[in-house]
Amino acid sequence: MSNLDQIAKLAGFSKATVSRVLNNSPHVSPETRDTILAIMKQLDYVPNGNAVSLSKGRTLQIGMCAEGINEAMLPFLNSFVETASQNGYQTIIYTSGGDAKQELKAFEELRRKRVDALVIITCVNDHALLGSYCKYGPIVSWQRMELPEIRSVAMNQYDGYKLGVEHVIEQGCTRIANVLGRPSSMNTLSRLAAYEEMMKKHHLPIRHEWSLTGIYSIRDGERVVRELLLGGGEHPDAVLCANDLVAAGLLNEARRQRIRVPEDLAIVGFDNTELAHTLGITSIDNPIAAQAQNAFYLLLGKLNQAESVQQKLQFSLVKRVTT
């Protein structure tokens, strides 16, 4: 493995000049540049990334923090990784499995200067604690946060959820249930607020036992059918789901139980993923890839002390056969 020193010696120039060639400095004569480039090629030279990072004080690496990666995050992840890459940044994944200690390691890596910035997909630590890491570098979040220091690129799901509630009401549903994710996350609270407002506006009854939380996956969705639709008493005639996975599980199990969709039960997903399209699930479109781009450019802006232009985004409802 050759290094700058060797190149400099062989070419008969100083390390400084070789470094200039490496960094495309205009202050190098064409002949000198050619000579040096030739030697580099000959020795199969590439600069050592760690040395560059140490010297420059920047790694061109961005950390991505999540409990674990699932389908719902894929559009965000792919879009972020690609956007970053186009701008010369690599993405390091830190998954915590929901362990707060483990999660904190990602933030420590920011402090240790292994990454220049951090993007949170989901996090479990106290937000204020995480916010204290902002002094080590820019942090942005997908998950909505309670602090001003860590901006979130996610949209206020209040607006999106309202579309869903409005839609099933228009379809004639009156007994509307919510199947939600993390119990007291901002998204859940926003959705509940939208739900309650719409229900009140239309003078429909709000039944708290029809708002379930902690539902995330296909299997969770299947379980919901048993909890919400198979017991005695009155059943909901519409369910708004935490995401399309849940909606898929719900739909599948409902059909298995001979519940007619949408006649007896309307189902609305969230995010409008490929899965919703495939299974014909009505879903609320959430422009996730664009949010990831916003996230990256927000970080890049802070890294370069420049203002970054953010795309304006909005929700929309895609009606399919489940409503």
Binding residues for its own copies, per CB under 8 A? 46-51, 53-54, 59, 61, 68-71, 74, 77-78, 81-82, 85, 90-95, 97, 102, 108-109, 111-114, 217-219, 222, 248-249, 252, 274-275, 277-279
User: How many amino acids of this chain bind DNA (CB under 7 A)?
Assistant: 28
Identity at 35, one-letter amino acid code: T
Spatial strand order of the sheet with 316-318 comes to 211-212, 176-179, 238-240, 266-271, 282-285, 316-318
> What is the closest distance, in whole angstroms, from the C-beta atom of residue 94 to its own copies in the complex?
7
Nearer to DNA, 20 or 151 (CB): 20
Single out the residue of 51, 128, 129, 309 in contact with DNA (rule: CB under 7 A): 51
The span from the CA of 140 to the CA of 142, in Å, is: 7
148: nearest Cα among 136, 131, 135: 131
Instruction: Tell me the β-bridge partners of 212.
Output: 179
142: nearest Cα among 178, 185, 82: 185
9-48 binders of DNA (CB under 7 A) = 12-17, 19-20, 22-23, 26-29, 31-32, 47-48
Interaction partner, residue 205 (DNA, its own copies, none; CB < 5-8 Å by kind): none
Q: What is the pattern of x (binds DNA, CB under 7 A) and - over residues 124-143?
A: --------------------
> What is the closest distance, in whole angstroms, from the C-beta atom of residue 101 to DNA in the complex?
22
| Residue showing tokens 């080590």 | 136
Q: Judging by DSSP bridges, how do beta strands 316-318 and 282-285 pair with one another?
A: antiparallel
The span from the CA of 232 to the CA of 235, in Å, is: 8
254-293 binders of DNA (CB under 7 A) = none
Hey, what are 40's tokens?
């580099």
The span from the CA of 15 to the CA of 21, in Å, is: 10
| Residue showing tokens 């939600």 | 180
> What is the closest distance, in whole angstroms, from the C-beta atom of residue 53 to DNA in the complex?
9
Alpha carbon distance, N-terminus to C-terminus of the chain: 64
Interaction partner, residue 273 (its own copies, DNA, none; CB < 5-8 Å by kind): none
Nearer to its own copies, 64 or 173 (CB): 64
Residues that bind DNA (CB under 7 A): 1, 3-5, 12-17, 19-20, 22-23, 26-29, 31-32, 47-48, 51-52, 54-57
